[in-house]
Amino acid sequence: MREIAKINKTFAEQIKEECGEDVYLCYQCKKCSLGCPTAYAMRYKPHQLIRTIQLGQKDLVLKDQSIWFCLSCQTCMTRCPQNLDFVKVADAARTIGGREKYKNPIPEIAAFNESFLFLVEKFGRIYEIGLVMLIKLKTKQIMKDVVTGLPLFFKGKFGLLPHKVKNVNEVQRIFAKVKELESK
Amino acid sequence: MRYGLYPGCSYNGTAKEFGESINFVCNKLGIELQELDDWICCGASSAHNTSHLLATSLPLHTLISARKAGFEKLLVPCIACSWRLKTAIKEMRENEELKVRAEEVVGEKYDDGIEVFNIVEFFIKEIGLKKIEEVTNKFLKRLKVVCYYGCMLTRPPGVANFDVVEDPQSMDNIMESLGAKSLDWPYKTECCGVSFALSRTDVVVKLCHDLLEEIKKLEADMVVVACPLCQTNLDMRQKEIEKKYNAKYGVPIVYFSQLMGLALGGSSKDVGLQRLTVSPFPALRKRGIL
């Protein structure tokens, strides 16, 4: 029997598999980009990112900063006449990028996500001052926000010590199990 | 009625006054809130762009432990948490495969028996405006406020299932039932930049500047919010924004629950007013409230 040539999945198919959203629904009305609060900072606006995914330009999406500027504020998906959820598409693209070892092009956001999940896995909860310190170390911006953050400290809003949940082993088991299931 | 409380990581930290005022108000209204024992983080801003399964499993752990504690209704004051919990519930209903996988991660089955409320929704649906009006006796009359809802209180529409998506009224209605005058404005559901505060602060500064410029035109006494991130970004960074844009705002950003607490006879300390960066005291004194 002849073997059928194995065709690589397109980026759009990968996105659909990851989050269920069909990017081919988009007909480029640009409503998403017009309402997007961070479109000003994106080289490719949301509707252009969708078009880029339709055309299979994976590197263009995953090596650029644009997709990382999505705040998940949900304005785009609320207004989309085709009910295409751009936030889910952005999350799926960012997840695929991370899994396939694309480097996050915005170092501060990479530092935030790494520090955030590290703390959740370590303590079971977010420990705010720890989060700030970790991000400072990772981005080498030690003095950033010291003046802005100081009042919070004096107003008793920053606990100095982390709160570790009792069943932290349970949290670590969740993280490990997710990794195990996802590697299958 | 007894409700479960999932406070979220900011409740005893940067949003301490949010927690204090909610506890005070619920106590006064005879609502029993019981914090879930040894709860864990919902994954918030980071899990959802790293792993869909992780972003579903962390909230699922919370939902299951709320069920085990015998709750059917869960109050989730942090808007980011309530977004993640409501999203997990909806996605597991629609996607059996995801539910099975997340249950495998957590190691237990979930019976879909929890209803999650955000904090504004909670007061509107479970207490009702009529009762709020009765017990507070229009205490805040003469106070002029602007209600700022931010992104997640009403969005995403199929998940939040609360209020009018792009022109919400619920917080305005609560303020009116407390006696305050609530002003209409077009930026109610614009975004403040949320967790970018700790990564791309420049984005938060720009978005909050846009909001503050619009707020300034309204000449309100204060801005009323219901989200820890909206509050922190607009309040704590206000000085920094004034400096960068050479502007002057000095507008207090208070939680709606703090004003409810005052109207229910609480002192400024009971509702944590001293913890705000921009002091609300001058405005409240000017209106004869404190």
Q: Residues B210-234, buried b or exposed e (16+ Cβ, 10 A)? A: ebbeebeebebbbbbbbbbbbbbbb
- Between CA A25 and CA A82 the distance in angstroms is 6
Q: A67, A99, A131 — which closes off a domain?
A: A99
For residues A61 and A133, membership in a common domain is answered with no
Q: A79, A99, A119 — which closes off a domain?
A: A99
pLDDT band at A7 (very low <50, low <70, confident <90, very high): low
The domain total for chain A is 2
- Between CA B59 and CA B93 the distance in angstroms is 14
Q: Is residue A143 part of a domain?
A: yes
pLDDT band at B111 (very low <50, low <70, confident <90, very high): very high
Q: A99, A119, A137 — which closes off a domain?
A: A99
Q: Is residue B276 part of a domain?
A: yes
β-sheet with B32-35: strand ranges across: B32-35, B2-5, B73-75, B115-117
Tens of pLDDT along A111-170?
999 999 999 999 999 988 899 999 999 999 988 888 888 888 888 887 777 888 999 999
Per-residue pLDDT for B65 more than 60?
Answer: yes
Q: Is residue A129 part of a domain?
A: yes
For residues B174 and B144, membership in a common domain is answered with yes
Per-residue pLDDT for B241 more than 60?
Answer: yes
For residues A87 and A144, membership in a common domain is answered with no
For residues A124 and A154, membership in a common domain is answered with yes
CATH of the domain at B52: 1.20.1050.140
Please name the residue of chain B whose CA is at the shortest distance from the CA of residue A67: B49
Residues B177, B131 contacting (CB under 8 angstroms): no
CA-based max dimension of chain B: 58
For residues B209 and B88, membership in a common domain is answered with no
pLDDT band at B240 (very low <50, low <70, confident <90, very high): very high
Please name the residue of chain A whose CA is at the shortest distance from the CA of residue B108: A174
Q: Is residue B259 part of a domain?
A: yes
Taking CB atoms within 8 Å and a gap of at least 24, the contacts of B276-281 are B276/A155, B276/B17, B276/B235, B276/B252, B277/A151, B277/A152, B277/A155, B277/B235, B277/B236, B277/B238, B277/B239, B278/B235, B278/B238, B278/B250, B278/B251, B278/B252, B278/B253, B279/B252, B280/B222, B280/B252, B280/B254
In terms of residue numbers, what domain contains B258? 128-286
Q: Is residue B252 part of a domain?
A: yes
Please name the residue of chain A whose CA is at the shortest distance from the CA of residue B158: A78
Please name the residue of chain B whose CA is at the shortest distance from the CA of residue A74: B156
Tens of pLDDT along A166-183?
999 999 999 999 999 999
Q: Is residue B173 part of a domain?
A: yes
Q: Is residue A6 part of a domain?
A: no
Q: Is residue A55 part of a domain?
A: yes
Whether A177 and B196 lie within 8 Å, measured CB to CB: no
For residues B74 and B106, membership in a common domain is answered with yes
For residues A95 and A149, membership in a common domain is answered with no
Out of A56-60, A127-131, B258-262, least confident range? A127-131
Q: What is the pLDDT of residue A161?
A: 79
- For the record, the structure tokens of B278 come out as 């921009």
Residues B4, B31 contacting (CB under 8 angstroms): no
Per-residue pLDDT for A5 more than 70?
Answer: no
- What are the distances in angstroms from CA B22 to CA B15, B76, B234? 11, 11, 20
Whether A159 and B13 lie within 8 Å, measured CB to CB: yes
Q: What is the pLDDT of residue B269?
A: 97
Q: Is residue A43 part of a domain?
A: yes
What is the phi/psi pair of residue B264, to 5°? Answer: -90, 15
Q: Average pLDDT, stretch A26-34?
A: 98
Q: Average pLDDT, stretch A77-95?
A: 98
What share of chain A has pLDDT > 90, as a percent? Answer: 79
Per-residue pLDDT for A3 more than 70?
Answer: no
Q: Is residue B81 part of a domain?
A: yes
- What are the distances in angstroms from CA B14 to CA A146, B139, B140, B222? 15, 28, 26, 20
Q: Is residue B110 part of a domain?
A: yes
CATH of the domain at B170: 3.40.50.11810
For residues A45 and A81, membership in a common domain is answered with yes
Tens of pLDDT along B4-47?
999 999 998 899 999 999 999 999 999 999 999 999 999 999 99
Whether the CB of B54 is below 8 Å from some CB of chain A: the reply is: yes
- What are the distances in angstroms from CA B10 to CA A110, B18, B81, B228, B239? 22, 9, 10, 7, 22
Residues B212, B278 contacting (CB under 8 angstroms): no
Q: Smallest CA–CA separation between A148 and chain B, in Å?
A: 7
Whether the CB of A56 is below 8 Å from some CB of chain B: the reply is: no
For residues A112 and A91, membership in a common domain is answered with no
What is the phi/psi pair of residue B94, to 5°? Answer: -90, -20
**CB-CB neighbors (< 8 A) of A131 in chain B:** 198
- Between CA B245 and CA B207 the distance in angstroms is 12
Q: Is residue A4 part of a domain?
A: no
For residues A95 and A115, membership in a common domain is answered with no
Please give the span between the terminal C-alpha atoms of chain A, in angstroms, as a whole number: 29
In terms of residue numbers, what domain contains A168? 107-183
Q: What is the pLDDT of residue A1?
A: 55
For residues B10 and B61, membership in a common domain is answered with yes
Q: What is the pLDDT of residue A156?
A: 84
**CB-CB neighbors (< 8 A) of A121 in chain B:** none
pLDDT band at B108 (very low <50, low <70, confident <90, very high): very high
Q: Average pLDDT, stretch A36-44?
A: 98
Q: Smallest CA–CA separation between B119 and chain A, in Å?
A: 18
Instruction: Suggest the residue from A34, A68, A73, A122 to mutate for an interface test with chain B (most B CBs closer than 10 A).
Output: A73
Q: Is residue B123 part of a domain?
A: no
- What are the distances in angstroms from CA B276 to CA A33, B15, B236? 35, 10, 8
Mean pLDDT of chain B: 96
For residues B98 and B184, membership in a common domain is answered with no
Q: What is the pLDDT of residue A31?
A: 98
For residues B181 and B254, membership in a common domain is answered with yes
For residues A23 and A95, membership in a common domain is answered with yes
Whether the CB of A135 is below 8 Å from some CB of chain B: the reply is: yes
Whether B191 and A37 lie within 8 Å, measured CB to CB: yes
ipTM exceeds 0.90, yes or no = yes
- What are the distances in angstroms from CA A26 to CA A48, B165, B277? 10, 22, 44
For residues B66 and B208, membership in a common domain is answered with no
For residues B160 and B108, membership in a common domain is answered with no
For residues B111 and B198, membership in a common domain is answered with no
**CB-CB neighbors (< 8 A) of B166 in chain A:** 78
For residues A32 and A76, membership in a common domain is answered with yes
What share of chain B has pLDDT > 90, as a percent? Answer: 97
Per-residue pLDDT for A100 more than 80?
Answer: yes
Residues B181, B189 contacting (CB under 8 angstroms): no
Angle CA(B161)–CA(B166)–CA(B170) in degrees, nearest 5? 65
Helix H or strand E segment including B183: strand B181-183
Interface of A with B in 111-130 (CB under 8 A): 111-113, 116-117, 120, 124-128
For residues A36 and A87, membership in a common domain is answered with yes
Q: Is residue A1 part of a domain?
A: no
For residues A132 and A58, membership in a common domain is answered with no
Whether A182 and B200 lie within 8 Å, measured CB to CB: no
For residues B142 and B241, membership in a common domain is answered with yes
User: DSSP string spanning B237-268?
Assistant: THHHHHHHHT------EEEHHHHHHHHTT--T
The domain total for chain B is 2
Q: B66, B91, B117 — which closes off a domain?
A: B117
Whether A71 and B193 lie within 8 Å, measured CB to CB: yes
Beta bridge partners of B224: B147, B254
Q: Is residue B122 part of a domain?
A: no
Please name the residue of chain B whose CA is at the shortest distance from the CA of residue A86: B156
Whether A75 and B155 lie within 8 Å, measured CB to CB: yes
Please name the residue of chain B whose CA is at the shortest distance from the CA of residue A126: B9
